[in-house]
Structure 1
Amino acid sequence: TMVPAHTACALLSLAPLLVLGVPPIWTQPEQVHLSYPGVPGSMLVTWTTFNKTESMVEYGLLGSRLFDMSTKGDVALFVDSGVEKRKMFIHRVTLTGLKPAATYVYHCGSDVGWSDMFSFTALNDSSSFSPRFAFYGDLGNENPQSLARLQKETQLGMYDVILHIGELPDNARIGDVFMTQIQSIAAYVELNFLSAIFGCTESLWYSWNLGSAHIISLSTEVYFYLEFGLELLFNQYEWLKKDLEEANKPENRAVRPWIITMGHRPMYCSDDDQDDCTKFHSYVRLGRNDTKPPAPGLEDLFYRCGVDLELWAHEHTYERLWPVYGDKVCNGSKDQPYVNPKAPVHIITGSAGCREKTDRFNPNPKEWSAFRSTDYGYTRMQLVNATHLYLEQVSDDQYGKVIDSIWVVKERHGFSAWS
């Protein structure tokens, strides 16, 4: 089950009321966002309040009578792990029986406070569906440079899904502001969160199907925060192994030929900040030998299971790699490197906007580095069909210009495609 990340309730919009001495509305829904629970015909609506209230979504088909359907859900107490130990309530309501590709209008809350009115389009559960994605990482609340462009494009209906590949704030008040900022995206289109911080999600790893793809979200933090328990690392590895084995069964791979992973910290990168991915012996890629027992890395597993595309963030840059395995380029051919590539394709997109500004690159990258940019921006993707996938990078610094694009073409998927 996929559960969106760490949420809390923002007070900034209530500042004028506080100044006047009028108490804020503790029952007012904040930080509304959508996510896909992985079951066809469903959508999960999540929001927060500071007081405990009912959890209700009223909704209806666009063009029909408003709010002629309603669904109740659950509310859970969340206590901020910071110094303030603030309490807030997280509401979750799962809508079911939605018509594929139909547009719904909804609001959420209770009779003591309702959200604004939003709309969404239910996901098409057909394997021939060609979903359009935007994805990015490290969108900071202090410098969310790409946010305005993403807001507009989302509300124009350009995307079916948005993937947030970490990094989410670990401070509750900062998290409040961040979640409020992205409501203008997340309340209109399904937003998958990948948290880079422990404790923000009830599930640190999960998978789901969309169109011709099986998409896997994983935690790279299990390789770095061993104080939370080494068993997390091994549990995830075993889960990944079973999930990939299931996805590779001939009957499943025939329907969902593309396997795409999303994780926060990359296996490879050419930044000069001495992060894990800048080292040959990357923990994420090769595992750790300083644990008992030694911890396995992910590169061999993903290669054996024929993962097609690996999406990463963390580095505050954009970098596209040639198909790579074992630190070596494995292009399909000299002239068409992404046509029938001989290894997974890696994309790093961590420059949506961050307080620390974009990173610097190593002036002498390894041969697997194909294209690099320090512009703020984000990535678009379309799963066109079972054989063709399109990717492009948008520069916000250059007013939405597409600065990089590739087609990945695969006539075969799975481990046999590498030979």
Structure 2
Amino acid sequence: MGKTPLDASEEHYIQPGALSVIKAIASEVDSNNLNSVFHIGDISYATGFLAEWDFFMNLISPVASRVSYMTAIGNHERDYVSSSSVYQTPDSGGECGVPYETYFPMPTSAKDKPWYSIEQASVHFTVISTEHDWSINSQQYEWMKKDMASVNRQHTPWLVFMGHRPMYTSNQGFSSKDQNFIKAVEPLLFENTVDLALFGHVHNYERTCSVYQNKCKAMPIKDQKGVDTYDNKNYSAPVHAVIGMAGFTLDKSSNNGESWSLKRISEFGYLRAHATKNDLNLEFVTSDTREVKDSFRITK
């Protein structure tokens, strides 16, 4: 028999990687290295225990008090049985998005419509909710379509798409991929020439080729420093990355990645990004040693 939401109280503890990750990010802030942080769902895993929200908010305060701390909603903030979530699971412990929206008021259009976009320098970020209706012709779908189509790519050349549940992951556990979500939303990314799609949910790191409909449309080429470089002057498809390795117990990386999977790492850390008009440079940094374990760049 599966556990009830009440049984989950026995498992509440500080997530194993959380302390090292926030310490590493805080040191980036101290070095004036960061302008903003994006946390793409499953924010505190409080699941109804407000004391854990208090602990988490205190934990991130050295970072969130100094740079913008932008979020997306995940299953552990929103999903609950008999709520309007796409997924009828007890994952939020009855929170149904209320504490999340109270603690993290993002620039959304209305309550319980937690999708929005912002622009920072040369990057347009489109942030969606995988837990709210994304089906074709839904309110969120129409918003995504309009938002991404409206970006002035001369002024803001980079388009980065973010949501919680991934479209591409080699992990086969806990319904990692929803084919209905992929079928509805992936064409929008392709049509609007999204450069990079970032997701969480699976607790490890994985990077793809330029991929669309499960096929590599282009492979990166190593530059003089050996860094995988994607040429988006000749756009082929988005690059996808799962970056769910920031605190919760890690999922093992699959030894048998799909053909579109280029890099898989199961260590705690974060993705560091630096954008100019012509380059989007990304590095997966491990939180304990601060070592760069994967780096790639997208050029225009």
User: TM-score, normalised on structure 1?
Assistant: 0.55
Distance between the aligned counterparts of 2:135 and 2:284, measured in 1?
A: 37
Q: Deviations over 1:368-398 (max 9, x none)?
A: 001110011101000122x21100000124x
Letter in 2 for 1:375: E
Q: Any idea what SS the aligned residue of 1:244 has?
A: helix
Aligned partner of 2:188 in structure 1 is 301
Q: Unaligned stretches of 5+ in structure 1?
A: 1-81, 84-139, 224-229, 287-296, 411-419
Partners of 1:404 and 1:276 in 2: how far apart? 23
Q: Per the alignment, do residues 153 and 334 of structure 1 end up closer, same or farther by CA in structure 2, a change over 3 Å counting?
A: closer
* 1:256–1:205 CA distance, 2 compared to 1 (3 A): same
Residue pair 2:254, 2:264 contacting (<8 A) in 1 also = no
Q: Is 1:210–2:120 an aligned residue pair?
A: yes
Contact 1:155–1:188 at 8 Å: present in 2 too? no
**Are 2:238 and 1:344 aligned?**
yes
Give the Å deviation of 1:243: 1.0
Closer/same/farther in 2, CA of residues 233 and 403 from structure 1, 3 Å limit: farther
Distance 1:233 1:141 in 2: 40
Could you tell me which of 15, 34, 37 is aligned with 1:159?
34
Give the share of equivalent positions with the same residue, in percent: 32
Q: Tell me the equivalent position of 1:400.
A: 290
Instruction: Compute the displacement of 1:332 (Å).
Output: 5.3
Q: CA RMSD in A?
A: 2.3
Q: Name the structure with the higher helix share.
A: 2
Native 8 Å contact 1:390 1:408 kept in 2: yes
Take 1:179 and 1:256, find their aligned partners in 2: how far apart are those partners? 32
**Structure 2: gaps (5+ residues):** 7-12, 79-96, 102-110, 223-227
Given residue 190 of structure 1, which amino acid in structure 2 is its aligned partner? S
Q: How many residues align?
A: 246
Residue identity opposite 1:271 in structure 2: N
Trace 1:168-183 onto structure 2 (pairs within 5 A). 168=43, 169=45, 170-171=47-48, 172-183=50-61
Q: Find the aligned partners of 2:220 and 2:240 in 1 and give their Cα distance.
A: 17
TM-score w.r.t. length of structure 2:
0.76
> Does structure 2 conserve the Cα–Cα contact (< 8 Å) formed by 1:273 and 1:360?
no
Residue 282, structure 1, aligned to residue 157, structure 2: no
Alpha-carbon spacing, 1:157–1:233, altered in 2? closer, same or farther (3 Å):
farther
- Give me the whole-angstrom Cα distance separating, in 2, the residues matched to 1:347 and 1:239: 23
Aligned equivalents of 1:262, 1:270: Cα separation in 2: 19
Distance 1:231 1:395, change over 3 A: closer
Following superposition, the deviation at residue 333 of structure 1 comes to 6.3
Return the match for 1:371 from 255, 258, 263. 263
> Is it true that 1:245 corresponds to 2:149 in the alignment?
yes
One-letter amino acid matched to 1:263: G
> 2:154 is paired with a residue of what secondary structure?
helix
Task: Answer with 1 or 2: which has the greater Rg.
Answer: 1
Q: Which amino acid aligns with 2:198?
A: L
Displacement after TM superposition at 1:173 (Å): 2.2
Change (3 A) 1:232 1:187: farther
Post-superposition shift, 1:276?
3.0
Q: Work out whether residues 276 and 282 of structure 1, in 8 Å CA contact, stay in contact via their aligned partners in 2.
A: no
Q: Distance in 2 between matches of 1:333 and 1:382?
A: 18
Q: 1:313 aligns with which of 200, 204, 220?
A: 200
Give the match for residue 236 of structure 1. Answer: 140
Specify the code of the residue in structure 1 equivalent to 2:131.
Answer: E
